Amino acid sequence: MLTFYKKLLEKNKRFEVGNITEKFNFKIKTKRLLVTGCLVGIFCFVWSFLDSPERAWINYLVDFFYFMSLALGGGFILALTAVTSAAWATPYKRLLEALTKFLPYGLILGAGLFFGIHTLYEWSHPELVAKDEILQGKSIYLNVGFFMARMAFFILVWWGLTKILTSLSLKQDKNPEFSLSAKMTKWGAIFLIVFAFTYSFASFDWLMSVRPHWFSTIYGIYTFSGLFVNVLAVVTLMLIWMQGKGYYKDVINENHYHDLGKLIFGFSSFWAYIWISQYLLIWYANIPEETGYFLQREIHGWDWLFFFNLGINWLIPFFALMTRKAKRSTFILGRVCILLIIGRWLDIYLMVAPDVYHHAGVTNPQIGIPEIGIAIGLASFFILVVGRALSKTPLMPKNDAFLQEGLNLHQ
Amino acid sequence: MSNKNFLLGIFEDEEHLVNASKELKDKKIPIFDVYTPFPLHGLDDLLDIKRSRLPYITFIGGIIGLSVGLWFQIWTSKVSWPLNVGGKPFNSFTAFIPVAFEITVLFGALITVAAFFFRTRLFPGKAGDIPDIKITEDAFVLAVELKSSAIDPDLVSSIFSTHKAKEIKTKRGMK
């Protein structure tokens, strides 16, 4: 194995493509713009909080979950490619590593969620739990202390594992050792198992418990399928944008976009498959305590959002990315990615908002400036963190054994 | 088709074949086809092979399957023999989705296979249509169609031999 790796490194040197020491230049002008975006977000949050606290906290939770999933998704693809010896993401694996750098900030944002617990979660009110036998039974798991402890635990574990994966990859840049690749495979396998459990439970805790009487065992897979599409769409859009700015010249070509396009096409369909799996079984069984969840989403103006969600996340991407030409064209692929990025937000929003609003006595969906503003705020913060991480390291992994294979993709 | 004439260059090494193909392309001599024991990277681009139109047939087949699947279920459970199942509506569209999906896949696949056989003129018991028996083992074969007088056979053979073709021969009546 060692000689094989050395041979690969030799090959890498012989056919060096692109600028291997290229770094991302995070312009001060962009930074200023992003800081303004953060301020807009804070302003919108405070403004809508004064108007109706539940609206502010719903958006906080939705965007918190969105960007935590995205950051974690970067780690997920890193681990996945390390375990399966896949090369398709190797040339741009630094983008995935940069995404994971957002995870520690989740501790601060998660701590902020503490102040919104009473607005968002019915089970956090002792007087309501006292009247409700089912919630009493669940109170061993659903109580504020344990909820916050679990949240801290999840984020710390994610942070630690992704830190190990990224630092191994950075170490390999200076030190061409195959043993580092082997270690990445090992830690990747550990990450995948831990991720499956922690992400499912995080979804149960943060999203599903806004409707504490309702449960769905497929919920974890459902949020995961959205995470996978979302991280692929974001990475594709990042690549398109960076290539437009002149980065990754001669490195990323239509073959890489074709690969990403196929994955987006496939996992958008996977999302729809999980969606219908959840819907169909609940519809068939027709048990009132389960159907309530979907009924809530099919009345009072939520219905069009509910079906629009299917269209934006599956139907349009499915037909738009069906041909080979579409997957290889950054024009079509980029637009589908934008659609999916918005679609993911709507998907999470629909998991949270109808129930919290119902609890607060608001019947109709409210989408307006607070929603857009708070999303822009957290997105700006996310881009600020990721961009800073990206500007610190070279854009290409130097001694990765799969770099050459990843550069010479054929379709 | 049987009156067509082909000039075959049989190579032992894939690099020689790729080089010969490049020179033929430079001289603007159209290559009929290349037969190799394993896929060669970059050869598809070199030969300017057009994309297969088969996926469009699959798409149409899938649409037909979806329509037939949905129509048949709605017709049986609503029109022909309405049956009350657990108080659900006769036209329970949600319940029809899995079956409609399966029929979409079935029709798409079968129509694709049928279209493929039809287009390539394959049928059970048809004799193998290969240019040279060696391509089933380790030889790389480059075939050039000799269209009337447009292509000079001597030029093609000389290109073959400069690129170390092991054998050059003509063949009549290949599809």
CA distance A41 to A39: 5
- B interface mutation test: which of A255, A273, A275, A276 has the most B CBs within 10 A? A276
Residue pLDDT, tens place only, A90-144: 888 889 999 999 999 989 998 888 888 888 888 888 888 888 888 888 888 888 8
For A185-189, B110-114, B156-160, which range has the lowest pLDDT when averaged over its residues? B156-160
Residue A335 pLDDT greater than 90, yes or no: yes
- Residue B1: which pLDDT band, with cuts at 50, 70 and 90? very low
Residue spans per domain, chain A: 23-387
- Decide if B59 and A322 are in contact by the 8 Å CB cutoff: yes
Type of residue numbered A28: I
Rounded to 5°, the CA angle A57-A63-A64 comes to: 85
* CA distance, residue B94 to nearest chain A CA (Å): 7
- Decide if B41 and A324 are in contact by the 8 Å CB cutoff: no
Contact A309, A256 (CB under 8 A): no
Share of chain B above pLDDT 70, in %: 94
Mean per-residue pLDDT, A226-247: 91
Start-end of H helices in A143-215: 144-174, 178-206
Residues of chain B numbered 27-66 and touching chain A (CB < 8 Å): 41-42, 51, 55, 59
Mean per-residue pLDDT, B141-146: 81
Q: In this structure, are B67 and B22 located in the same domain?
A: no
For A227-231, A258-262, A324-328, which range has the lowest pLDDT when averaged over its residues? A324-328
Share of chain B above pLDDT 90, in %: 25
Name the 3-class secondary structure at B170. strand
Contact A75, A157 (CB under 8 A): no
Name the 3-class secondary structure at B141. strand
- State chain B's mean pLDDT as an integer: 83
For A69-78, A174-183, B57-66, which range has the lowest pLDDT when averaged over its residues? A174-183
More confident residue, A398 or A40: A40
Structural domain of residue B146, as residue ranges? Answer: 5-51+127-172
- Residue A357: which pLDDT band, with cuts at 50, 70 and 90? confident
Contact A25, A351 (CB under 8 A): no
Per-range mean pLDDT, top range of A50-54, A300-304, A316-320:
A316-320
- The DSSP letter of residue A298 is T
Residues of chain B numbered 114-143 and touching chain A (CB < 8 Å): none
CA distance A358 to B104: 39
pLDDT value at position A206?
Answer: 92
Residue ending a domain, among B77, B92, B120, is B120
Contact A33, A404 (CB under 8 A): no
* CA distance, residue B47 to nearest chain A CA (Å): 15
Name the 3-class secondary structure at A151. helix
Q: In this structure, are B113 and B97 located in the same domain?
A: yes
Three-state SS across A196-246?
Answer: HHHHHHHHHHHCHHHCCCCCCCCHHHHHHHHHHHHHHHHHHHHHHHHHHCC
- Residue A166: which pLDDT band, with cuts at 50, 70 and 90? very high
Residue A9 pLDDT greater than 70, yes or no: no
Name the 3-class secondary structure at A367. coil
Q: In this structure, are B44 and B87 located in the same domain?
A: no
Closest CA in chain B for residue A410 = B41
More confident residue, B148 or B7: B7
Structure tokens at A226: 């959205």
Contacts of A283 in chain B (CB under 8 A): 94-95
Residue A339 pLDDT greater than 50, yes or no: yes
Residue B28 pLDDT greater than 80, yes or no: no
User: Is ipTM beyond 0.85?
Assistant: no
Closest CA in chain A for residue B96 = A280
pLDDT value at position A150?
Answer: 92
Residue B72 pLDDT greater than 60, yes or no: yes
CA-to-CA dists, residue A232 to A96, A262, B124, angstroms: 10, 10, 44
Residue carrying structure tokens 């109709």: A364
Three-state SS across A82-111?
Answer: HHHCCCCCHHHHHHHHHHHCCCCHHHHHHH
Type of residue numbered A32: R
Residue A3 pLDDT greater than 70, yes or no: no
| CA dihedral angle for residue A121, residue A124, residue A130, residue A133, rounded to 10 degrees | 50
More confident residue, A78 or B156: A78
- State chain A's mean pLDDT as an integer: 87
Contact B57, B111 (CB under 8 A): yes
**In this complex, which of B41, B51, B94 lies closest to A324 when CB atoms are compared?**
B51
Per-range mean pLDDT, top range of A386-395, B65-74, B122-131:
B65-74
Please tell me the total count of domains within chain B: 2
> Could you tell me the CATH number of the domain that includes residue B157?
3.30.70
Helix (H) or strand (E) holding B168: strand B167-172
Per-range mean pLDDT, top range of A210-219, A358-367, B67-76:
B67-76
Contact A387, A45 (CB under 8 A): no
Residue pLDDT, tens place only, B116-141: 999 888 888 887 777 777 777 888 88
More confident residue, B75 or A13: B75
- The DSSP letter of residue A321 is T
Residue ending a domain, among B120, B142, B162, is B120
Pairing of strands B33-35, B5-11: unpaired
Mean per-residue pLDDT, A6-16: 58
pLDDT value at position A337?
Answer: 94
Residue A65 pLDDT greater than 60, yes or no: yes
B84: contact with A, CB 8 A cutoff: no
Q: In this structure, are B62 and B112 located in the same domain?
A: yes
Residue A15 pLDDT greater than 60, yes or no: no
